[in-house]
Amino acid sequence: MKEFIERPKYFERIKPFIGKPIIKVLTGQRRVGKSYLLRQIARYAEEQLGGNIVWVDKEDEAFRHIVDADSLIAHIKQATDGKEGKMHFVLIDEIQEIADFEIAVRSFSAKKGFDLYITGSNSEMLSSELSSRLSGRYIDLQVYSLDFEEFCLFHQLPPDTTSLNLFLKYGGMPFLRHLALTDNQAYEYLHTVFSNIIHRDIVARYQIRNVNFLDRLVYFLADNIGSLVKAKRIADYLKSQQINISVNTVLDYLQYLSASHIVLPVKRMDLRGKKTFEVGEKYYFQDSGIRNALTGYRLPDIGALMENAVHHHLVSNGYEVFTGDWQDKEIDFVAHKNGERIYVQVAYLLAQEDTIAREFGNLLEIKDNFRKMVVSMDPFQGHSYMGVEHFPLVAFLGEVR
């Protein structure tokens, strides 16, 4: 088995379900490390539980003969024949490449002695197929690119401001540990990953004809990280560029990009009525490095990239994240986990009085006892104002869980 660096925070989430009669589904963008998480599970199952490992990797030419449910069933039967009495751990990587895969998954999930793990890069496809065939019999774990702590581990860097700047610039795709963190090497690789996602997970799957508009939409989102995005606004903007696209088409393409995990939508929450708005969302890139490979890494974007890093940190640590509306004031992030809530405001620097008043003041108007934080690039730490904590970004990414 290939050597790899473990990612404990994901393994610990799935460990309680290992050996249990429920299908484990790992979803996430291509190349974020789902395959290596499967390998970590397989090593644990083989070494600690004495299990029989059945491996299927649709990114590997050795498994190209597995194209549909019948060939998948035949492969699993062959790999388990004569090994009665053992627990069979079946791990299938990029399962969306197998036609009617859910038939085979349902068949073996019902058999005693089988423990199934599958990964996929299209959340919409997986959820629709599995929910229709396997309702209530699977759990879904979202896997993200490396967070800042993992980035430092993979690249053997100290968790300091210099490393943070590299993280903001090049992102957390795990394979970058094999390359030099330079624009030429990193961005060439990230361009390839992006192209692969666009053509395999979106253009081919949804039979997209207007690839030019899809590209324009990605660039629009890259230039508007942290801004409220409305489909009508995009359609109107394109009309000004002599491109006629309907609002419904814009909504469809936004859904395709979200399902492939290139971008992650964040809904708005009315903090007074505790309801979410159906119109207008923010979009953040799953990986800031891919965003920068497309648009370039520019100093004026630092505030947006900080927001992207905070959002990535929150969702990769299991928070459900919204942006908050409070009496016509915006709260950058309202994050929920295990019955608790935190509020987070992000500002580049707290050098001006009006910036301090706005960022801390917006949070102070929320009269509840949940934790409230302002995150900036300022180096000082440990200060708070009327109960609102201040974190330098490097500390927030290392301490807040």
In three-state secondary structure terms, 89 is strand
Which token pair is 193? 């990953």
Q: Residue 276 pLDDT > 80, yes or no?
A: no
Rg (CA), the chain: 22
**CA-angle at 114, arms to 113 and 116, nearest 5°:** 160
The confidence score (pLDDT) of residue 274 equals 67
Measure Cα distances from 20 to 54, 88, 112 in Å: 17, 12, 11
Question: Position of tokens 């300091």?
Answer: 160
Q: Which of 95-99, 123-127, 221-225, 236-240 has the lowest mean pLDDT?
A: 123-127
- Long-range pairs of 204-213 with CB within 8 A, sequence gap ≥ 24: 205/122, 205/125, 206/256, 208/253, 208/256, 210/245, 210/249, 213/238, 213/243, 213/245, 213/249, 213/253
Distance CA 13, CA 329 (A): 35
What average pLDDT does the structure give for the chain?
92
pLDDT computed for residue 68 by the predictor: 96
In whole angstroms, give the CA distance from residue 90 to residue 79. 10
Q: CB–CB of 37/5 below 8 Å?
A: no
pLDDT band of 381, cuts 50, 70, 90:
low
Task: Please provide the DSSP assignment of 250-305 as one string.
Answer: HHHHHHHHHHTTSEEEEEEEETTTTEEEEEEEEEEES-HHHHHHHH---GGGHHHH
Task: Check if the beta carbon of residue 294 is closer than 8 Å to that of residue 160.
Answer: no
Ordered strands of the 114-120 beta sheet: 52-57, 88-93, 114-120, 23-27, 138-142
All CATH 3.40.50.300 domain ranges in the chain, comma separated: 8-142
What's the whole-number mean pLDDT along residues 298-309? 96
Homologous superfamily (CATH) for 8-142: P-loop containing nucleotide triphosphate hydrolases (3.40.50.300)
Q: Give CA angle at 200 (194, 201), nearest 5°.
A: 85
Q: Is 215 a residue whose pLDDT tops 70?
A: yes
Task: List phi, psi (to 5°) of 20.
Answer: -90, 150
Q: Strand 384-385 relative to strand 371-376: parallel, antiparallel, unpaired?
A: unpaired
pLDDT at residue 124 greater than cutoff 80: no
pLDDT at 270: 87
What single DSSP character describes residue 99? B
The answer, yes or no, to whether residue 279 has pLDDT greater than 90, is no
Cα(382)–Cα(369) distance, integer angstroms: 19
3-state secondary structure of 328: coil
23 or 136: which carries more pLDDT confidence?
23
With the C-alpha atoms ordered 348, 350, 354, 359, is the resulting torsion angle positive or negative? positive
Does residue 54 sit in helix, strand or coil?
strand
Instruction: Please tell me the distance from the alpha carbon of residue 187 to that of residue 192, in angstroms, as a whole number.
Output: 9
Beta strand 371-376 with 340-346 is parallel
The secondary structure of residue 51, as a DSSP letter, is: P
Q: Which amino acid is at 218?
A: V
pLDDT band at 243 (very low <50, low <70, confident <90, very high): confident
Query: Which DSSP state fits 87?
Result: P
- What tens digit of pLDDT does each residue of 308-360 get? 999 999 999 999 999 998 877 889 999 999 999 999 999 999 888 888 888 89
* DSSP structure class, residue 68: B
| Higher per-residue confidence, 242 vs 153 | 153
Residue 234 has a pLDDT of 87
d(CA 359, CA 321): 19
Q: Which one-letter amino acid corresponds to residue 30?
A: R
Instruction: Please report where in the chains the tokens 């499967």 appear, as a residue.
Output: 38
Give one DSSP letter per residue of 333-392, joined into a string. Answer: EEEEETTEEEEEEE-S---SHHHHHHHHHHHHTS-SSSEEEEEES-S--S-EETTEEEEE
Q: State residue 387's pLDDT score.
A: 87
Spatial neighbors of 180 by CB under 8 A, at least 6 apart, are 186
- Res 24: pLDDT: 95
